[in-house]
Amino acid sequence: MPRSRQSNRPGASGRGDQPDGDLDPVGRVEWLRERIRFHDRAYYELDAPVVPDADYDHLVRELRALESAHPDLVTPDSPTQRVSGAASTQFAPVQHRTRMMSLDNAMDVGELRAWGERTDRRLAELGLAGGVEYVCELKIDGLAISLRYESGELVLAATRGDGRTGEDVTANVRGVEAVPQRLTGEAPRVLEVRGEVYLPLESFHRLRARTEAENEEALAAGRRPRPLPANPRNAGAGSLRQKDPSVTAERGLSFWSYQLGEVVGAEPPPTHSGALGYLEALGLPVNPATRSFPSLDEVYGFCAHWVEHRHELDYEIDGVVVKVDDLSVQAALGATSKAPRWAIAYKLPPEERTTTLLDIQVSIGRTGKATPFAVMEPVFVGGSTVSMATLHNEDQVRVKDVRPGDTVVVRKAGDVIPEVVGPVLEFRPDGLEPWVFPADCPSCGSPLVRAEGEAQHLCTAADCPQKRWAAVCHFASRGAMDIEGLGEQQVQMFMDLGLIDDVADVYSLDYDRIGELRGYGETSVENLRTAVDASRSRPLARLLFGLNITHLGQAGAEALATSLGGLEAIAAAGIEDLSAVDGVGPVIAASVHEWFADPVHRGVVDRLVAAGVNTQGPERSVLPQTLAGRSVVVSGTLAAYSREEAEAAIKSRGGKSPGSVSKRTTALVVGAEPGASKITKATELGVPVLDEAAFEQLLETGELPS
3-state SS, one letter per residue, for 612-628: CCCCECCCCCCCCCCCC
pLDDT for the residue numbered 291: 95
The answer to whether residue 230 scores a pLDDT higher than 80 is no
Q: Among candidates 477, 496, 498, which has minimal Cα distance to 486?
A: 477
pLDDT for the residue numbered 644: 77
Q: Bridge partners of 340?
A: 335
The answer to whether residue 299 scores a pLDDT higher than 50 is yes
The answer to whether residue 8 scores a pLDDT higher than 50 is no
Share of the chain above pLDDT 70, in %: 93
Cα 615 to its chain centre, rounded Å, is 38
pLDDT, one tens digit per residue, over 101-114 is 888 889 888 999 99
Residue type, 382: G
pLDDT, one tens digit per residue, over 391-408 is 989 988 988 899 999 999
The stretch 408-428 carries a mean pLDDT of 82
Whole-number Å distance between alpha carbons of 210 and 231? 14
Give the domain-ending residue among 515, 535, 555: 535
From its phi and psi, is residue 53 left (phi > 0), alpha (psi between -120 and 50) or beta?
alpha
Whole-number Å distance between alpha carbons of 304 and 374? 32
- Secondary structure of residue 3 in the 3-state scheme: coil
Which ranges constitute the DSSP H helices of 497-615? 511-515, 522-535, 540-546, 554-564, 567-572, 575-579, 586-597, 599-610
Residue 543 burial by CB count (10 A; 0-12/13-18/19+): exposed, middle or buried?
A: buried
The answer to whether residue 129 scores a pLDDT higher than 90 is no
47: pLDDT confidence band, cut at 50, 70 and 90?
low
Range ranked top by mean pLDDT from 63-77, 113-127, 413-427, 650-664: 113-127
Q: How distant, in Å, are the alpha carbons of 2, 380, 432, 520 from that of 16?
A: 16, 16, 15, 47
pLDDT for the residue numbered 675: 77
The answer to whether residue 20 scores a pLDDT higher than 70 is no
The answer to whether residue 9 scores a pLDDT higher than 50 is no
Could you give the number of structural domains in the chain?
6
Does residue 575 lie within any of the structural domains? yes
Where is average pLDDT lowest: 158-167, 374-383, 412-421? Answer: 412-421
54, 62 Cβ separation under 8 angstroms = no
Q: Among candidates 276, 282, 254, 108, which has minimal Cα distance to 188?
A: 282
The answer to whether residue 155 scores a pLDDT higher than 90 is yes
Does residue 1 lie within any of the structural domains? no
Whole-number Å distance between alpha carbons of 213 and 231? 17
Q: How distant, in Å, are the alpha carbons of 308, 335, 389, 419 from that of 386?
A: 19, 39, 8, 10
The answer to whether residue 93 scores a pLDDT higher than 80 is yes
**Residue 139 belongs to domain with CATH number:** 3.30.470.30
CA quadruple 396, 401, 405, 409: dihedral sign: negative
Domain of 70?
25-81
Asked if 282 and 312 sit in the same domain, the reply is yes
The stretch 182-189 carries a mean pLDDT of 92
Asked if 122 and 138 sit in the same domain, the reply is yes
The answer to whether residue 351 scores a pLDDT higher than 90 is no
**Residue 376 belongs to domain with CATH number:** 2.40.50.140
Sequence-separated (6 or more) residues with CB below 8 Å from residue 542: 479, 480, 481, 482, 557
pLDDT for the residue numbered 34: 84
- Residue 61's CB is within 10 A of a number of other CB atoms, namely 14
The stretch 121-128 carries a mean pLDDT of 89
Asked if 116 and 166 sit in the same domain, the reply is yes
Give the domain-ending residue among 499, 515, 535: 535
- Secondary structure of residue 302 in the 3-state scheme: helix
The answer to whether residue 530 scores a pLDDT higher than 50 is yes
pLDDT for the residue numbered 599: 94
Q: How many residues does the chain have?
A: 706
Does residue 617 lie within any of the structural domains? no
pLDDT for the residue numbered 117: 93
119, 333 Cβ separation under 8 angstroms = yes
pLDDT for the residue numbered 10: 33
- Secondary structure of residue 193 in the 3-state scheme: strand
Does residue 442 lie within any of the structural domains? no
543, 608 Cβ separation under 8 angstroms = yes
- Residue 670's CB is within 10 A of a number of other CB atoms, namely 23
287, 140 Cβ separation under 8 angstroms = yes
411: pLDDT confidence band, cut at 50, 70 and 90?
confident
Asked if 506 and 599 sit in the same domain, the reply is no
Give the 3-state secondary structure of 237-281.
HHHHCCCCHHHHHHCCCEEEEEEEEEEECCCCCCEHHHHHHHHHH
Asked if 332 and 470 sit in the same domain, the reply is no
Whole-number Å distance between alpha carbons of 545 and 549? 7
Residue with the bigger pLDDT between 381 and 5: it is: 381
The answer to whether residue 86 scores a pLDDT higher than 70 is no
* Mean pLDDT for the chain overall: 87
pLDDT for the residue numbered 255: 96
Annotated catalytic sites, by residue? 139
Whole-number Å distance between alpha carbons of 630 and 88? 49
The answer to whether residue 282 scores a pLDDT higher than 70 is yes
Whole-number Å distance between alpha carbons of 553 and 561? 12
pLDDT for the residue numbered 604: 95
pLDDT for the residue numbered 479: 87
368, 458 Cβ separation under 8 angstroms = yes
Residue type, 97: R
The answer to whether residue 4 scores a pLDDT higher than 60 is no
Whole-number Å distance between alpha carbons of 107 and 134? 19
Asked if 468 and 394 sit in the same domain, the reply is no
2: pLDDT confidence band, cut at 50, 70 and 90?
very low
Q: Among candidates 463, 134, 580, which has minimal Cα distance to 323?
A: 134
409, 230 Cβ separation under 8 angstroms = yes
Whole-number Å distance between alpha carbons of 374 and 367? 21
Q: How distant, in Å, are the alpha carbons of 175, 197, 235, 438, 558 from that of 238?
A: 14, 11, 5, 37, 42
The stretch 186-197 carries a mean pLDDT of 94
Does residue 619 lie within any of the structural domains? no
Q: How distant, in Å, are the alpha carbons of 98, 109, 174, 327, 431 from that of 263?
A: 10, 36, 21, 14, 58
338: pLDDT confidence band, cut at 50, 70 and 90?
confident
658: pLDDT confidence band, cut at 50, 70 and 90?
confident
Side-chain half-sphere of 304: how many Cα atoms within 13 Å? Answer: 9
Q: Among candidates 166, 149, 338, 360, which has minimal Cα distance to 260?
A: 149
Whole-number Å distance between alpha carbons of 204 and 236? 8
- Secondary structure of residue 632 in the 3-state scheme: strand
The stretch 620-648 carries a mean pLDDT of 86
Does residue 4 lie within any of the structural domains? no
Asked if 309 and 256 sit in the same domain, the reply is yes
The answer to whether residue 249 scores a pLDDT higher than 80 is yes
2 membership: H or E segment, kind and range:
none
Asked if 222 and 323 sit in the same domain, the reply is yes
**Residue 652 DSSP label:** T
**Residue 643 belongs to domain with CATH number:** 3.40.50.10190
pLDDT, one tens digit per residue, over 424-439 is 888 899 899 999 999 9
Give the domain-ending residue among 458, 493, 521: 458
Asked if 297 and 232 sit in the same domain, the reply is yes
**Residue 54 belongs to domain with CATH number:** 1.10.287.610
Q: How distant, in Å, are the alpha carbons of 80, 137, 142, 489, 574 from that of 104?
A: 10, 15, 17, 46, 65
Does residue 131 lie within any of the structural domains? yes
Asked if 241 and 364 sit in the same domain, the reply is no
Sequence-separated (6 or more) residues with CB below 8 Å from residue 648: none
Asked if 424 and 517 sit in the same domain, the reply is no
Helices and strands (H, E) in the chain, number of each type:
24, 21
Does residue 448 lie within any of the structural domains? no
Asked if 124 and 175 sit in the same domain, the reply is yes
**Residue 481 belongs to domain with CATH number:** 1.10.150.20
The answer to whether residue 54 scores a pLDDT higher than 50 is yes
Sheet holding 143-150: strands in order across? 153-159, 143-150, 190-198, 254-264
The answer to whether residue 269 scores a pLDDT higher than 80 is yes
Residue type, 174: R
Whole-number Å distance between alpha carbons of 196 and 178? 11
